[in-house]
């Protein structure tokens, strides 16, 4: 597929992801000479209603987002496939960077100072998302969706949050949802089909714990869905307590907002 031009404008460079009925491609915008991401959803007999709903929601959400550390909406078009089926194509900006997952896959862990900086920048992004009306919930924060731009060292990198394919705009009257996310990073309420803004905080906490320890959250999870990371890290007691509150399985004991968590983080010695 490399070299093919889609939408009379986007020259495909390579495939980044492929799932049933969905492709993610990196391409070059031949009008602006800039890299873009194409997310393609095939409108065939195998199309799942949930996939269609999530695709349309991602389009609508990216139109709203103006944050420098998230992808930008660039366009949308439909195209015919060789099978005579149609496909919907979302065009978004390409966010260059190295994911936390890439570093963890290389057995690279992060120290407390680095993890604090990753947490600080991510919480600032989440505060912006959650401040929308209604709040925008990412629902799938994990190491592969946090990028360091351009890469290490963390102290000089911008943290970017990508992949809004599971995003949810949450109204006060509708909190029951289909269970979506990645096991190990899901808070208990999201596993049960319910999501709140603070659900993103738990997922961030699981990601930070993995960055600190190099251990999968599933391996550190104990009875009661508590991620017991303390024995794997060399960190200050105050930061450990802060992260434990971010990871509280109980909604009542978790930080109540990204802003609250960010203020508390900035107050740590």
Distance between CA atoms of residues 94 and 112, nearest Å: 29
Give 261's DSSP letter. H
Residue 237 main-chain phi, psi, to 5 deg: -55, -40
Contact indicator for 42, 24 with CB cutoff of 8 Å? no
Helix or strand (DSSP H, E) at 74: strand 73-80
Distance between CA atoms of residues 110 and 115, nearest Å: 6
Q: Which residues have CB under 8 Å from 227's CB, separation 6+?
A: 205, 206, 209, 217, 220, 221, 247
Distance between CA atoms of residues 209 and 174, nearest Å: 30
> Could you give the residue ranges of the DSSP H alpha helices within the chain?
49-64, 100-105, 112-130, 188-191, 197-213, 217-220, 237-246, 258-266
Distance between CA atoms of residues 220 and 246, nearest Å: 15
Helix or strand (DSSP H, E) at 14: strand 10-19
| Total number of residues shown for the chain | 269
Contact indicator for 207, 143 with CB cutoff of 8 Å? yes
Task: Please measure the distance between the N-terminal and C-terminal CA atoms of the chain and give it in whole angstroms.
Answer: 53
Residue 85 catalytic? Answer: no
Catalytic option among 45, 60, 140, 238: 140
Q: What residues are labeled active site?
A: 140
């Amino acid at each position: 597929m490399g070299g093919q031009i889609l939408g009379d404008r986007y020259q495909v460079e390579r495939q980044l992801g492929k799932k049933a009925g969905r492709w993610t491609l990196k391409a070059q915008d031949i009008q602006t000479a800039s890299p873009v991401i194409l997310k393609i959803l095939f409108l065939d007999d195998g199309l799942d209603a949930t996939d269609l709903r999530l695709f349309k929601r991602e389009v609508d959400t990216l139109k709203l987002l103006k944050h420098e550390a998230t992808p930008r909406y660039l366009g949308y078009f439909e195209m015919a496939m060789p099978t005579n089926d149609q496909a919907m194509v979302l065009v978004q900006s390409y966010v260059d960077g190295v994911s936390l997952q890439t570093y963890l896959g290389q057995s690279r862990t992060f120290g407390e100072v680095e993890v604090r900086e990753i947490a600080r920048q991510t919480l600032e992004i989440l505060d912006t998302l959650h401040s929308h009306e209604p709040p925008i919930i990412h629902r799938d924060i994990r190491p592969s969706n946090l990028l360091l731009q351009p890469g290490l060292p963390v102290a000089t990198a911008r943290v970017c949050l990508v992949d809004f394919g599971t995003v949810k705009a949450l109204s006060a009257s509708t909190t029951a949802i289909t269970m979506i996310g990645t096991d190990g990073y899901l808070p208990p309420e999201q596993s049960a089909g319910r999501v709140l803004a603070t659900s993103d905080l738990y997922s961030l906490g699981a990601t930070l714990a993995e960055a600190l320890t190099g251990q999968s959250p599933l391996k550190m999870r104990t009875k009661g869905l508590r991620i017991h990371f303390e024995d794997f890290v060399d960190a200050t007691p105050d930061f450990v307590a802060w992260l434990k509150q971010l990871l509280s399985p109980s909604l009542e004991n978790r930080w109540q907002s990204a802003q609250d968590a960010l203020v508390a983080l900035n107050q740590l010695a």
